[in-house]
């Protein structure tokens, strides 16, 4: 019965811990979404800056695995170079150490207090910011409460002879015990898929006196290796560069652990010297009040030291993972959801989708140039290329829609929700514009075989005017100048609509005079309507862009 009680209390405590971490992470992401966006946009080839970015983002999302999955996604989307990604991964390893310090606080004192302080603003405040602050406090309280429950459940184990015999091999201060602990920490982290949870369990075990500090330090080293499995799994089916980024994370952590493993007794003594108090000192109740801070310090010192030591060799690590992961021939980049939906950082996912929409805008530009070329001189090769472009835009539109629908399953702020809707709308409008450009080419191919004296001069002028309007509508995305007023766009749109109506009226007059046959007349009319439809979709695109940009003010 005692064993069953320990199991369900540990599982319950772990569940509360997970829920608290999830609540805290989601609230921090929403509260700091623009901070995340800003630091991501600040990325350059500067490796030190990349480390700082990784550290800041991980401190906000409270998970190095989530940051690494985000990084793999950025590399997959072509938004980040491999060396930048490795720098961010270095920083994420440092940033995740803040979790250890949070959960090393005397949890019994503050868990219920945090829950009490956070639940009321989280539930009843009308302010989104205050709600997020309340959710952060509530999440931290749940983390503390979960750890307190686990620590309490583990206390009977320190006098249980069967359990002590079972873990006796792990408790010895020799390299065999250290290696066994590292492997155990790695395996359990792979199973749980959360190094933060394993760190919490390690601190709970050590604080209860079940395991010693040297064993806990070795477990933490194993957890650093185990956490890399998330990114490795997420990189399956992605681009070569994304796979390289995930493998760089794994090799970096493995190399770091190997170096520390060689000097682990000295490393443990250094942490004892660095942090006040004896790690395994027991209090009157049999608990170890100092060990949590020692474990948090060992986690921090390992990751900071490894990052500093490996930073000068970042380029060599990039070359190594490039060598073991050769480039695939004719590889295509796709916007795909990297990792599980719960690992999505909405702010960074929106950046990825925005990049894809910009690619669509540029692709439509190339498609228009090819369309104009075809109108001036019919060429089957150009027609084939335009059909290929249209197919690509279809696929990109589907990718953006599916991707953003997955993002919208996550808790989003009002601003993030509106941005997501705007991106889906933009992708849809751009795909429609591509459809009509292809139709114009099809109509022109018909007209070429039934041509009876229709002059394209006015049509080409109208085409140029519609395309100038398209540039006006997309200037907010493609240019760094001040945004175009919506009133100006509406005025231009109306003048183009009137122009199209005048063209059709003149066209009807020519039909009445019998200047060309019925097929040519119908086809030319369809070509004018196609441009008018492009104008309408460009107008809708401008409105969606305005909605997107208004969320950044």
**Residues 476-534 pLDDT 10s:** 776 655 566 777 888 888 888 888 888 877 777 776 666 666 667 777 788 888 999 99
Taking the C-alpha atoms of residue 148 and residue 16, their distance in angstroms, rounded to an integer, is 10
pLDDT, averaged across the chain: 82
DSSP for 322-342, please give it: HHHSPPPTT--------S-GG
Taking the C-alpha atoms of residue 250 and residue 244, their distance in angstroms, rounded to an integer, is 10
Taking the C-alpha atoms of residue 188 and residue 396, their distance in angstroms, rounded to an integer, is 39
Q: Residue 327: its pLDDT value, please?
A: 79
**By percentage, how much of the chain surpasses pLDDT 70?**
88
Residue 4 binned pLDDT confidence (cut-offs 50, 70, 90) = confident
**Residues 434-479 pLDDT 10s:** 999 999 988 888 775 555 444 567 888 888 999 999 988 888 776 6
pTM of the predicted model as reported, rounded to 2 decimal places: 0.79
Q: Residue 311: its pLDDT value, please?
A: 86
Q: Taking the domains of the chain in order of start, what are their residue ranges?
A: 2-324, 344-550
Q: Residue 228: its pLDDT value, please?
A: 87
Q: Residue 266: its pLDDT value, please?
A: 92
Longest dimension (CA), the chain: 108
Q: Residue 278: its pLDDT value, please?
A: 82
Q: Could you give the 3-state DSSP secondary structure of residue 238?
A: coil
For 344-550, CATH gives 1.20.58.220
Cα 152–chain centre separation: 37
Residue 98 binned pLDDT confidence (cut-offs 50, 70, 90) = confident
Q: Residue 529: its pLDDT value, please?
A: 87
Residue 100 binned pLDDT confidence (cut-offs 50, 70, 90) = confident
**Residues 208-219 pLDDT 10s:** 888 888 988 999
Choose between 71 and 265: higher pLDDT: 265
Of 273-282, 363-372, 394-403, the one with minimum mean pLDDT is 273-282
- Whether the CB-CB separation of 269 and 243 falls below 8 Å is answered with no
pLDDT, average across residues 316-337: 78
């Amino acid at each position: 019965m005692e064993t069953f009680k320990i199991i369900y209390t540990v599982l319950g405590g772990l569940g509360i811990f997970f829920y608290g971490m999830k609540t805290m992470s989601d609230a921090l992401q929403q509260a700091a979404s623009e901070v995340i966006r800003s630091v991501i946009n600040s990325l350059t080839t500067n490796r030190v800056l990349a480390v700082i970015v990784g550290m800041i983002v991980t401190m906000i999302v409270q998970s190095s695995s989530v940051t690494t999955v985000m990084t793999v996604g950025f590399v997959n989307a072509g938004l980040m170079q491999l060396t930048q990604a490795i720098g961010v991964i270095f920083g994420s390893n440092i940033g995740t150490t803040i979790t250890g310090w949070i959960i090393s606080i005397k949890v019994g004192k503050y868990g219920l207090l945090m829950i009490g302080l956070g639940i009321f603003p989280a539930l009843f405040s009308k302010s989104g910011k205050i709600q997020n602050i309340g959710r952060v406090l509530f999440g931290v309280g749940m983390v503390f409460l979960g750890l307190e429950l686990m620590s309490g459940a583990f206390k009977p184990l320190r006098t249980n002879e069967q359990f002590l015999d079972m873990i006796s091999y792990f408790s010895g201060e020799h390299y065999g015990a250290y290696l066994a602990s590292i492997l155990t920490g790695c395996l359990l982290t792979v199973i749980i898929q959360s190094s933060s949870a394993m760190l919490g369990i390690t601190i709970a075990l050590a604080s209860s006196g079940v395991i010693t500090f040297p064993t806990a330090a070795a477990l933490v080293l194993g957890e650093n290796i185990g956490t890399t499995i998330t990114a490795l799994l997420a990189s399956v089916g992605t681009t070569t560069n994304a796979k390289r980024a995930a493998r760089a994370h794994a090799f970096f952590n493995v190399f770091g652990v190997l170096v520390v493993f060689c000097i682990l007794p000295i490393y443990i003594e250094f942490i004892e010297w660095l942090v006040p108090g004896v790690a395994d000192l027991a209090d009157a109740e049999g608990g170890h009040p100092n060990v949590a801070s020692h474990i948090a310090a060992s986690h921090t010192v390992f990751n900071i030291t490894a990052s500093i030591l490996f930073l000068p060799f970042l380029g060599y690590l990039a070359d190594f993972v490039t060598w073991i992961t050769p480039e695939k021939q004719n590889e295509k980049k796709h916007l795909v959801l990297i990792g599980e939906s719960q690992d999505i950082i909405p702010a960074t996912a929106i950046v990825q989708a925005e990049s894809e929409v910009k690619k669509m805008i540029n692709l439509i530009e190339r498609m228009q140039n090819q369309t104009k070329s075809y109108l001036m001189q019919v060429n089957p090769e150009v027609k084939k290329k335009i059909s290929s472009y249209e197919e690509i835009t279809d696929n990109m539109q589907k990718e953006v829609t599916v991707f953003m629908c997955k993002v919208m399953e996550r808790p989003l702020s009002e601003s993030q929700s509106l941005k997501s809707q705007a991106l889906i709308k933009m992708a849809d409008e751009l795909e429609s514009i591509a459809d009509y450009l292809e139709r114009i080419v099809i109509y022109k191919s018909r007209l070429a075989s039934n041509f009876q004296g229709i002059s394209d001069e006015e049509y080409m002028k109208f085409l140029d005017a519609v395309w100038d309007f398209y540039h006006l509508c997309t200037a907010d995305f493609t240019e760094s100048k001040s945004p175009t007023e919506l009133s100006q766009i509406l005025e231009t749109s109306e003048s183009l609509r009137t122009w199209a109506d005048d063209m059709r009226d003149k066209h009807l007059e020519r039909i009445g005079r019998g200047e060309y046959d019925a097929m040519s007349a119908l086809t030319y009319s369809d070509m004018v309507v196609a441009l008018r439809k492009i104008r309408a979709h460009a107008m809708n695109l401008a409105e969606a862009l305005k909605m997107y940009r208004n969320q950044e003010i």
